[in-house]
Structure 1
Amino acid sequence: MAVHPQVHASLAIRRRPPAEALAADPYERLQHARRAMEESNEAECGPAIPLPVVVDVDADGVPCRLYATRTGAPVLVYVHGGGWCYGSVETFDRLCRRIADRSGCAVLSVGYRLAPEHVFPAALDDVETVLGWVRKEGAGLGVDPYRLAIGGDSAGGQLATVAARRQRDAATPLDYQVLIYPAIDPMTASESYDEVGGYGLDRASMKLAWETYVPSPADRFGPDVAPLAVEDLAGMPPTLIITAEYDVLRDEGADYADALVTAGVPVVHVRYAGVNHGFARKLALFDAARAAADQIAVSLRAALTF
């Protein structure tokens, strides 16, 4: 399918760095990217759906935001994207609201520590802290900690599935995982990096993101960074994987779906045609974003058994 016109419209929304910022040091460029994402949030994501419960909470030191429509609901722990370097609970607020509204599940959005200020494994540690906190405090929050899923997009998808595998290994398996164009390959070796370009993400940007999050090259080969380095994926939770046609991460997401299927894990992999990386949170710009959020909601309802 040709690139959807909504892709071109979306690329014009976010403020691009001026020439002097491009010439500045990498940290200054990162700060600009962080500000630009926050500033464009309303235009990209639209108005907030009102919910009965939207509250910021402290999960054993990790800031989170809880969204809920009823008591006793299953929980999706959501880990936002942004190359492990930017993004926030606020920039994914609208997506989390829609998933909570459509699914009936509670959504707990994780404000994990960002690189380069906090490198690997800080973000992963924060996600695991939140999972432990939900299991311990969920009943007091009015949610059901015994029906627990995890999800995330891009870098958040990587963190989510690594955390899910670690939970499996600790004999505290999760019930479901949702991975939206997950970052899977630190080597950025898939063919889609060469086939897809000019739509907001490229190989150079992903290499920089991986290197910023995991400065030590040796660490990038381990299973806590590279999900496909895991010898046995059997016992991973049933999985929904969403990829985008015009996304450099497209093929590695598909490869991970194939690896999970080979290991006997129930997987639904859906590729959204005509759209690019990052589309899923941009509910005000993409018809496909609203469809993806609703697909996630339906899958959660089915998986967590109301």
Structure 2
Amino acid sequence: MLHPQVTASLAVRQRPPADVLAADPEAQLAFARQAMEDTVEAECGPAIPLPVVVDVDADGVPCRLYASRTASPVLVYLHGGGWCYGSIETHDRLCRRIADRSGCAVLSVDYRLAPEHSHPAALLDVETVLGWIRKEGTGLGVDPSRLAIGGDSAGAQLATVAARRQRDAATPLDYQVLLYPAIDPMTASESYDEVAGNGLDRASMKLAWETFVPNPADRFSPDVAPLAVENLAGLPPALIITAEYDVLRDEGADYADALLSAGVPVVHTRYMGMNHGFARKLAFFDAARSAADQIAVSLRAALTF
């Protein structure tokens, strides 16, 4: 059953229909970007104060570092927004809560967005940040030898790809946190037909994928489609969170199953009654606060204080 809090949340932010967006992409994308920024206070609530909240330049990639203690492990966090919108600001409250509850530092990445910067720009930004925090982290008062990656939706897609590429480069990460990850560029799972109309649908996701990766042939690459990877063994242990009323629900579950089949330790939690994007909306959803705290507990356990 769809939670009543979801119904209330859908009325707060206007979302241009996918067909209108396709008809006038530039104007409607600007609308969607601004709408997400304008509703941060209403959706996400007040900012938790932390000892360290500082904007940093990670070799040319803007980031924000959150920390509640020194010498802490680091979670590199990649915001959602269909690779086309979202920012450090839209996910500020979630990152603060994770940092506050976990004791880990959180480095939130303002990667380049499509269509101005299509694939692989965002992925290259993520890899730049990972290299930078490994190099500069000690000087910032954190411990980059204990390093996790995470994100939601489009950001979770980037996190899965970056984790696999880091494995292949022999610089493996220690943990990954994936909130309702976008895994399948073909948008083929049954959940697209079963739960559409709760904030996200197939048309919107198809448009997001096409904007992010304009060349159709590239959408079959392992650097775009995580399930195109032949061998998932050796990837970091994962926490995967999905939502019952999310069109991405099934592909997130499929990725959890694929990791488990490859011998990767996975905890997959489905939040019942919730829709896509719920976890950052701390002002709306009791489940958002629970999810943020679950992430914090999992990070504490995985990165061994």
Bin for the TM-score computed over the shorter chain: over 0.9
Secondary structure, counterpart of 1:186 in structure 2: coil
In structure 1, the partner of 2:123 is 124
Q: CA deviation at 1:16?
A: 4.3
Secondary structure, counterpart of 1:91 in structure 2: coil
In structure 2, the partner of 1:46 is 45
Deviation string 1:87-109 (CA, Å, 9 cap, x unpaired) is 00000000000000000000000
Secondary structure, counterpart of 1:160 in structure 2: helix
In structure 2, the partner of 1:57 is 56
Q: Distance in 2 between matches of 1:89 and 1:9?
A: 25
Q: Distance in 2 between matches of 1:286 and 1:172?
A: 37
Letter in 2 for 1:137: E
2:265 maps to 1:266: yes
Q: Distance in 1 between matches of 2:23 and 2:227?
A: 35
In structure 2, the partner of 1:200 is 199
Deviates more, 1:9-18 or 1:208-217: 9-18
In structure 1, the partner of 2:295 is 296
Secondary structure, counterpart of 1:146 in structure 2: strand
Letter in 2 for 1:50: P
In structure 1, the partner of 2:109 is 110
CA RMSD of aligned residues (A): 1.1
Q: Cα distance 1:16–1:161, how it changes in 2: closer, same or farther (>3 A)?
A: closer
Secondary structure, counterpart of 2:243 in structure 1: strand
Q: Cα distance 1:264–1:35, how it changes in 2: closer, same or farther (>3 A)?
A: same
Q: Cα distance 1:23–1:107, how it changes in 2: closer, same or farther (>3 A)?
A: closer
**Are the aligned partners of 2:113 and 2:122 in contact in 1 as well (CA < 8 Å)?**
yes
Deviation string 1:41-68 (CA, Å, 9 cap, x unpaired) is 1000000000000000000000000000
Deviation string 1:227-257 (CA, Å, 9 cap, x unpaired) is 0000000000000000000000000000000
Secondary structure, counterpart of 1:29 in structure 2: helix
Secondary structure, counterpart of 1:280 in structure 2: helix
Q: Distance in 1 between matches of 2:149 and 2:203?
A: 29
Deviates more, 1:9-18 or 1:287-296: 9-18
Q: Distance in 1 between matches of 2:63 and 2:42?
A: 23
In structure 2, the partner of 1:134 is 133
Q: CA deviation at 1:27?
A: 1.4
2:163 maps to 1:164: yes
Unaligned 5+ segments in structure 1 are none
In structure 2, the partner of 1:15 is 14
Q: Distance in 1 between matches of 2:299 and 2:251?
A: 23
Question: After the TM superposition, which segments of 4 or more aligned residues of structure 1 sit over 2 Å from their partners?
Answer: 15-18, 21-24
In structure 1, the partner of 2:96 is 97
Q: Distance in 1 between matches of 2:239 and 2:57?
A: 28
Q: Distance in 1 between matches of 2:22 and 2:123?
A: 32
Q: Distance in 1 between matches of 2:5 and 2:303?
A: 33
- Aligned identity (percent) is 85
Q: Cα distance 1:185–1:294, how it changes in 2: closer, same or farther (>3 A)?
A: same
Q: CA deviation at 1:24?
A: 5.6
Q: Distance in 2 between matches of 1:133 and 1:202?
A: 36
Deviation string 1:247-287 (CA, Å, 9 cap, x unpaired) is 00000000000000000000000000001000000000000
Secondary structure, counterpart of 1:232 in structure 2: coil
Q: TM-score, normalised by structure 1?
A: 0.98
In structure 1, the partner of 2:87 is 88
In structure 2, the partner of 1:173 is 172
Letter in 2 for 1:61: G
Q: CA deviation at 1:15?
A: 3.0
Secondary structure, counterpart of 2:224 in structure 1: coil
Letter in 2 for 1:204: A
Q: Distance in 2 between matches of 1:179 and 1:44?
A: 21
In structure 1, the partner of 2:283 is 284
Unaligned 5+ segments in structure 2 are none
Secondary structure, counterpart of 1:77 in structure 2: strand
Q: CA deviation at 1:180?
A: 0.1
In structure 2, the partner of 1:6 is 5
Q: CA deviation at 1:197?
A: 1.1
